[in-house]
Copies of this chain bind each other. A is one copy, B any other.
């Protein structure tokens, strides 16, 4: 019999849900070393095989992979709740864009992103796909929070205080990527805002960079009926048909919203193995519509979940997003079996990782992947009894049940407290920005 193998970390949990493979493991341990998962095995077997330097016991918790928020505008958290109960176009044109024009700066983006990271981490989100101005400031904030991010390099065909034209957007984005390439937790994507805000010539340049640098393309598409109708009137094509013609679609394409799709669009997404990010709360709040998620999944398309920005949600909360996605799919299809809990949990974890091109590294509690894990306490009087922990993760638990979060084996949230972020300081900055914003 061999001596137990020394390792950095062992986490024992009442239930462990690896997501891949599906199912619930009772009384299992996750073993990690040097930031990576070494094994997932029964606690009795872990006793024999491993000698952990740190052991954490979670007797009433379910341990799940870190959640992946596949679409957000983190810095907009500073605009949380500034204009509600108005439709997308008015919301953007009368409320959001004017304020962004006046206030957005590297300092705004840094402070807003750190506020968002604090909220996301405490809610079990370990990785976010972000799209906003000043990606260098956002990247620094994620890095200092110890959170993973796919940082979007924004591209628009109109000037903002951040950049004057498409060339400048691209140059600034690529410079941010160069400046932050040392960070193991950051990756980068090209983030053209949307088909209706970026012209063909710029899309072609984006596609060229994406191919040359092997970068994902992260964009809004087919969010509202009017976007699609106007595109058809102007070009005779759906927005997705146009992006397909311009070469933007493919396995590295992250199409956000995808609410209003023609049948040919669905075939395109499937044929090109594109990724869709479903943002149910944002789509409902802005009355954009209901993405045909059950149909996209049936067609084999990878669908991840996103919160969108806190200005249109107003929580960066993937537990709420999971629950809303499941409820919305059921009522939209008339089928109560649509989007069952295990499938929604997969969307919020492994499918998110796939969308971001990170499925080899994160998204499930699988040996070889980074030890990104979230402990959810199911002992409270507001969640008992517990017949099925996977159902509870979607239908009962909220982010308030998250007690501990590890990223690459580091305990970033410890007993509901952030180890990497000075919460009072971040809260004070949020209050200061609020004063300026009014």
- Which residues of A does B touch, CB under 8 Å? 78, 80-82, 84-88, 91, 115, 118-119, 122-123, 281, 283-290, 313-315, 317, 320, 323-324, 326-328, 330-331, 333-338, 340-341, 379, 381-388, 391-392, 395-396, 398-400, 423, 426-427, 430-431, 433-434, 437-438
Contact = CB atoms under 8 A, between A and B. Distances in A.
A118 B380 CA distance: 10
Contacts of A336: 85-88, 91, 285-287
Contacts of A288: 331
Contacts of A289: 331, 334
B427 A384 contact: yes
B381 A331 contact: no
Nearest to A426: B381
Contacts of A333: 287
A395 B118 contact: no
10 contacts: A80-B387, A81-B388, A81-B391, A284-B327, A286-B330, A287-B330, A287-B331, A287-B336, A379-B427, A385-B433
One complex includes copies of this chain to the number of 2
Given A81-B391, A379-B427, 18 more contacts: A78-B385, A81-B385, A81-B387, A81-B388, A87-B336, A88-B336, A281-B327, A284-B327, A284-B328, A285-B327, A287-B336, A289-B331, A324-B324, A381-B426, A382-B399, A384-B430, A385-B437, A398-B400
Q: Which among A81, A122, A341, A385 has the highest number of chain B CB atoms within 10 Å? A: A385
Please list the 10 inter-chain residue pairs (A to B) with the smallest Cβ-Cβ separation, ordered nearest first: A385-B434, A400-B400, A284-B327, A287-B336, A87-B336, A85-B340, A284-B331, A384-B430, A314-B395, A287-B330
